[in-house]
Amino acid sequence: MNILDIGIDIVEIGRIKEAINKNNRFLEKIFTENEIEYFKSNNFRVESIAGNFSAKEAISKSLGTGIRNFNFKDIEILRNEIGKPIVKTYNNLEKICIDYNVLEIKVSISHCKEYAVANAITIIKE
């Protein structure tokens, strides 16, 4: 195993809250149905939404591409039974991961009152 790259992102939680309030389709444009269900189960806590948004940006950086040739909904970030974020890829991003020989994308998410931050590591076959 090798590391392809790492990525980090930070976002103002207020900026995400504003985007949600301004555009009633924001969640549907950025997040999968499963992610929206997760947010719903957490009463749509904006810090969780911002954390997932930041994680998607960090993942795009850990691939070295940014959000190019795939869209936000090609990345899905859910939680396991103890709350650890789990990354799933779909569509064009899944194809990119196959081309890059990606074994796993690991992500960590945190937040405070004003910011959400995430880092990601893309692990590839040697």
Instruction: Report whether 60 contacts 102 (CB < 8 A).
Output: no
Q: Which of 100, 119, 95 is nearest to 8 (CA)?
A: 119
Cα–Cα distance measured from residue 114 to residue 42, given in angstroms and rounded to the nearest whole number: 18
Q: Which of 76, 81, 94 is nearest to 37 (CA)?
A: 76
Question: Residue 123: helix, strand or coil by DSSP?
Answer: strand
Q: Is residue 9 annotated as involved in ligand binding? A: yes
Q: Is residue 33 annotated as involved in ligand binding? A: no
User: Residue 66 gets which letter from DSSP?
Assistant: -
102's enclosing H/E stretch is strand 102-111
Residues in the annotated binding site: 9, 57
Annotated binding site for Mg(2+): 9, 57
